[in-house]
């Protein structure tokens, strides 16, 4: 029985569309959850630093602390814009390129780009902390919240603000990124099948032209 490549391609396209739609929903949910996470993190992290660096806190006084609170709240207002801008990077989202085989990185390798984007968002807190000298230390060595390049140089030209330490994501963020990785694994053989079917179709069309000549 002769194969109907058009029907096979249509079936695989429908399956891939379902998968990419699921990927888009995860993308939206992850960004929404990250906005909430970063928003809360700005305030909670500041409270921890204010306590841990009590000497600085007592030196700057209540008036400056009141203004600092206002600055943090203003930063929280910007959290949605900050996170959305960072997660517009299409390289984070394999489902935006459904005709291309996704990389099969797993575990930490898969989450690292997301982790960096979250830490870049968190790093915006440095603009407030630096203003009130909270990233200074008693020995004069500043705490550097900056993006580093592949060689590990934090103060590379135009380095962006970035939280330099590992962050504990919310449970929902961890769940969503794992779902996204699992969906990528499910999509891989479907994309592979689509590429193969399109290749077979091209071969057939070329051979049909040969036979018609």
Domain chopping of the chain, boundaries: 5-212
Give the per-residue pLDDT at 54: 92
**Number of CB atoms found within 10 A of residue 47's CB:** 11
Q: Which two tokens stand for residue 67?
A: 């203004």
The long-range contacts involving 52-55, CB below 8 angstroms and separated by at least 24 positions, are: 53/134, 55/138
> Consecutive 10-residue runs of the chain (213 residues): their mean pLDDT?
83 94 98 98 97 92 96 97 96 91 83 96 97 79 80 70 94 97 94 92 90 87
Taking only Cα atoms into account, the Rg of the chain, rounded to an integer number of angstroms, comes to 24
Report the chain's terminal Cα–Cα distance, integer Å.
Answer: 25
Q: What is the DSSP letter of 53?
A: T
pLDDT of res. 148: 80
- The pLDDT score that the predictor gives to residue 143 is 83
Q: For residue 146, which phi and psi values (nearest 5 degrees)?
A: -140, 150
| CB distance 20 to 98 below 8 Å | yes
In angstroms, the CA 133 to CA 74 distance is: 18
Alpha-carbon span 82 to 124, nearest angstrom: 8
The whole-number pLDDT of residue 151 equals: 66
Lookup result for tokens 């020995």: 139
- pTM of the full predicted structure? 0.89
């Amino acid at each position: 029985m002769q194969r109907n490549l058009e029907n096979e391609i249509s079936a695989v396209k429908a399956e891939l569309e379902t998968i990419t739609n699921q990927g888009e929903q995860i993308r939206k949910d992850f960004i929404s959850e990250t906005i909430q996470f970063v928003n809360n993190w700005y305030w909670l992290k500041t409270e921890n630093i204010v306590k841990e660096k009590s000497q600085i806190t007592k030196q700057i006084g209540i008036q400056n602390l009141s203004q600092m609170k206002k600055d943090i709240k203003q930063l929280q207002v910007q959290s949605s814009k900050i996170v959305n801008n960072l997660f517009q990077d299409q390289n984070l989202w394999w489902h935006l390129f459904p005709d291309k085989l996704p990389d099969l990185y797993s575990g930490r390798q898969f989450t690292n780009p997301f982790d960096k984007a979250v830490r870049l968002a968190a790093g915006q807190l440095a603009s407030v902390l630096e203003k009130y000298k909270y990233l200074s230390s008693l020995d004069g060595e500043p705490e550097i919240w900056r993006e580093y390049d592949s060689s590990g140089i934090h103060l590379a030209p135009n380095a962006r603000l970035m939280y330099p330490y590992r962050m504990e994501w919310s449970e929902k963020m961890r769940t969503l990124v794992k779902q996204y990785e699992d969906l990528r694994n499910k999509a891989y053989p479907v994309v592979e099948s689509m590429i193969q079917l399109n290749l077979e179709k091209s071969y057939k069309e070329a051979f049909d032209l040969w036979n018609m000549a």
